[in-house]
Each structure stands twice: as C-alpha cells, then as structure tokens.
Structure 1
Amino acid sequence: MSEPTNTQLGIGDFGCTHYRRRCKIVAPCCNEVFGCRHCHNETKNNEEINVVDPHDIPRHEIKKIICSSCDTEQDVQQYCINCGVCMGKYFCGICKFFDDDISKQQYHCDECGICRTGGKDNFFHCKICGCCYSKVIKDGHHCVERAMHHNCPICFEYLFDTLREITVLPCGHTIHFECVKEMEQHHRYSCPVCSKSICDMSSVWKNLDQVISTTPMPITYKNKMVWILCNDCGVNSNVQFHIVAHKCLSCNSYNTRQIQGVPSSSCSSRVEETVR
C-alpha cells in the first residue's frame, strides 16, 4: 500500500501541550474528545474542577480518533481516511499513540505493554523489576520486584508511565530524578522507601568522626550503651551513646537509628529482608 501524497500537511500546526500530532482521541470511558490521554487525565482528575467521575483513560481501549486537519472521525490508524494526512510520524497501534517528535526515539516494549522513549537499543527490560532500564545499569542494578509499579515516594505520581525522567537508587528503588535533586537541596541523602544512603557518604562519616571525637559526653552518659540498627547494612550494634550520632560497627555508617531492647540474633536478617 502506497503512502498518501499529503502526509506532511499541517506538520507542527496541531497537537496539545504534551504531543505534536494531527489527531484528537475520543475517550472510550466518557465519550469526550481530548488532545491526548494526558489531557483527559488532567481534566478528569483535577480537584479544582467539579468532577463527578474522576478517572484515567484506558489507553489500549481507544477505538476512535478525529483528524485535526479535516475533522473526520475514524478508527485508530496512522493516516487519515479522508485527507490522507499523517496523524503522527511515530505511531503505535497497540497504545493508540501518535507523536511527530521522533527525536524522543520512541519504541514499544511488549513486556511493559506501553511505549517508551530513549531508543530500544539503549534499554533493556528487567523481568524482576518489571520495567525498562538503561543498559548502563544492566549488570549493576539492584532488583526490586515491580520497582516502578508504584507512586514516586516524594511527589506521589505513578512512576510506571510517567513522562518525567526517573532514576534508580543504589538500593533499587525508583524515584523521579528531579525529586532526588529536591531532596538533596534539603540535605536528605537516604532513600525515602528503605532509608539506605543514596550516594557515597564516606566524607560525611569522616567529618562526623571528627565532630564526635571533639564533643565529649557528660560523665552521666559516659558508660551508657544503646542498641542501633544500621539503615545501610541492616546490622544491629551495641554502641556507646552519643548526642551527635551513632556509628555502625559493621560498615562504619552513621545512617543509623536507635532501637529499644536487645535485638534477637535473627533480627538483622529479618530487617535486611524487609528493606530489600
């Protein structure tokens, strides 16, 4: 089948704030017309609007689109049946997705079930994590089951199909990249899910060593011992109490918290399994 002759008609003239494309979608859930699924979801879940039935569009169930060039309603397809215009240079018949900006290097991942950006050759699908990651971390990432099938622990946006850049922390948990940067601005350097350190903190630990050595405790507390749990390695330690911080005897991290009572011998392993 030959390509229609006027496929370039209206390039750059149509679309919404999310995508450049030459069609609108008819939402199967409410039968209303929107620029894209994000336009629908933002409208139908906007708390400032009196929405009777808040919901997200079932993207794979979209069956009808409307050509932005000639206003012809038709089944989902890349080229308009009336004027022949190309609805989007990138087209996925599974996701019912159109986009003219192919510089994003879109591709459809069968295992994710949705379209991704960044180029198929640059990503791999981790079956345990249940999502696509950059090949840069293929041999070194820590697997967490269904790692992106939850909300960002900072902004609470669902991560699996977010449009914003995500990053994988050393512990394996995922979070928006800009949310990590915001955490760092507030001097927060531990995972908001499992509390493990998100970067190399060795220089900070050395500074704390110096602070503690120059901050003697009153005689009342000189022999006071406390049990601590290390958030980084999951090991319990019995250490001398100090007002500044407590150092893990196993990995020398100060990312610890004081716990009550004497932990059982299996406590460390149970905690380690939990944070994983």
Structure 2
Amino acid sequence: MEGSANERLDFGKMGYGCKHYRRRCKIRARCCNEIYPCRHCHNEATSMLSNPFDRHELVRYDVTEVVCSVCDTEQPVAQVCTNCGVNMGEYFCEVCKFYDDDTEKGQFHCDDCGICRVGGHDKFFHCKKCASCYAVGLRDNHLCVENSMRHHCPICYEYLFDSLKHTTVMKCGHTMHCECYEEMIKRDKYCCPICSKSVIDMSQTWKRIDEQIEAIVMPEDYRYRKVWILCNDCNDTTEVYFHIIGQKCSHCKSYNTRSVAPPVLPQ
C-alpha cells in the first residue's frame, strides 16, 4: 500500500466492522476456531446453536490471532497489520485484545476492572468496594454494595459488569440497566427488584396514603387489630394497627412494608 505512514495507518478507518464496533480486523475464536467480527458477534451466533452443548462464549483475553479486514492477512494480536500497515483499530488494548476505530466513545482500560470501558477516563472512578467504575458524580455520593456490578440485571438478566448498555446505581446501591430502570418506573414499580427498598422519593405518595386511610374507617371487627410489619426501607420491625390500604412504618413513615405475622385481636 503506497502513501505516507499516516495515510497507511488511517486507510479504511471507520469503513469496516460490525454492529458492535468499527474496526479493521476480525478475530479468530480459539474455542471453535471460527472467525468473527468481534466477541459479541461470536457469542450471539453460538447462543443460537440448536445443540445446547455447543453453546459457549468467547473470553476476550483468549484471542491470540486476528485477520486484517483490509488485506485479509491472519496474524498475532497487534495494533498495526504486519502486511499492509493499517491500524486495525485506532483504539487498541493489548490486555483485552480490543480494537475500535470510533474513538469518540472515549475508550479507556481500567486496571482494577480488568476490562476496557467507554466514556473518558477523566469522567469515571473505580469504586474498590463496588468493584466497578462509576461516573465521578457518584464519588462519595452512592451507597456501596460489595461487588454490586458482578451480577445480572434484575430485569433483563444480562450480566452487568461488561454489558454494553448504560447502567444506573439506585438509592439502595444496587445496579441495573438504565433502560430497564426507566421501564420499571414507567410501569409504576418503585422498589428495587433485589432488596425491595424505594428507589425514588415517595414522601408525597405516603401523604396521599395517609389521607386515604384517614378517610376510610375499617369495620369494627378489624379496627383494633394489630400486625407485625417489616419495613423494606429502614428494615425496622414494628407492631402497628392493620388497615386494608397499607401499614405505615412507625420509624421512617414509609408504607413500603410487608406483614411478618397475621393480624391479631388485642387481648
């Protein structure tokens, strides 16, 4: 390929790739010895195999050979093609064996996470207890949950730690996909699917329930019955008067509670 060194490096930039990444190479999956545009393409393809025993995922660190998309030369993992001299990825991580021409994503490798992330290194920090990178706005401003990202989204069940989708940290410290969280709120579900704590300010809702309970008098047989409740928001257990609409936590005034014993008549 003729031209200056920079022209050779940039040749074909953003012109190759798949729906996941723009890159000028494909990878050989050692697990099945097949060639795919990226590990996500491999994982999607193998997940559809009819034989469940053939389904498997490609581990990013296991990639040792790549194929240049410009000249079709197979070679060991490196940023520059040994044959035609193009950058197979403007961004390249030797640890993750990761290539991407779309550098506007702000890719960076986090040594603590052990993987590459997007969004700009200066806009994120690594929380040691949560064991994941979070936006700098959450530094000293979130409830830490040990290994909070090392689990599946409680809504769609996709593994969160290396998910391509944006995630959010709820008030309780648990995490889920932003789009799953927004869909949950749209459906008037305001409790964390993991711990059942309220994820938004519910004080106005509690006031409305107060008004409803004041307006609705329970029948004589139930008016003085009590029940033990556990508050999902503060974890306090108290005995309160039973009402068909809900039971209010006497500690934090939340109605996000559940009965832990059947209602009983006073002795």
Q: TM-score range by the shorter chain?
A: over 0.9
* Aligned-residue offset at 1:3: 5.2
* Aligned-residue offset at 1:247: 0.4
Q: Is residue 180 of structure 2 the alignment partner of residue 179 of structure 1?
A: yes
- Give per-residue Cα distances to partners, 1:175-234, cap 9 Å, x unaligned: 001101111111100000000000100011011111111111011101101011000000
* Aligned-residue offset at 1:28: 1.4
* Aligned-residue offset at 1:4: 5.8
Are the aligned partners of 2:14 and 2:102 in contact in 1 as well (CA < 8 Å)? no
Unaligned runs of 5+ in 2: none
User: What is residue 268 of structure 1 aligned with on the other side?
Assistant: none
Normalized against structure 2, the TM-score is what?
0.94
Normalized against structure 1, the TM-score is what?
0.91
Q: Distance in 2 between matches of 1:136 and 1:29?
A: 40
User: What is residue 272 of structure 1 aligned with on the other side?
Assistant: none
- Give per-residue Cα distances to partners, 1:125-183, cap 9 Å, x unaligned: 11111111111011121111111111001100000000000000111101001101111
User: What is residue 57 of structure 2 aligned with on the other side?
Assistant: 56
Q: Distance in 1 between matches of 2:21 and 2:97?
A: 13
- Give per-residue Cα distances to partners, 1:39-77, cap 9 Å, x unaligned: 011111126x44541111011111000000000000111
Aligned partner of 2:33 among 8, 31, 34: 31
Q: Work out the number of aligned pairs and report it.
A: 260
Q: Secondary structure of the equivalent of 2:126?
A: strand
* Aligned-residue offset at 1:17: 0.7
One-letter code aligned to 2:32: C
Q: Secondary structure of the equivalent of 1:188?
A: coil
Are the aligned partners of 2:143 and 2:172 in contact in 1 as well (CA < 8 Å)? yes
Q: Distance in 2 between matches of 1:184 and 1:143?
A: 22
RMSD of the alignment, in Å? 1.5
Q: Secondary structure of the equivalent of 1:43?
A: helix
Are the aligned partners of 1:63 and 1:75 in contact in 2 as well (CA < 8 Å)? yes
Q: Is residue 167 of structure 2 the alignment partner of residue 156 of structure 1?
A: no
Q: Secondary structure of the equivalent of 2:66?
A: strand
One-letter code aligned to 1:23: C
- State the percentage of identical aligned residues: 53
Q: How does 1:8-157 map to 2 (within 5 A)?
A: 8-46=10-48, 49-50=50-51, 52-157=53-158
Unaligned runs of 5+ in 1: 263-276
One-letter code aligned to 2:77: V
Are the aligned partners of 1:5 and 1:84 in contact in 2 as well (CA < 8 Å)? no
Are the aligned partners of 2:225 and 2:242 in contact in 1 as well (CA < 8 Å)? yes
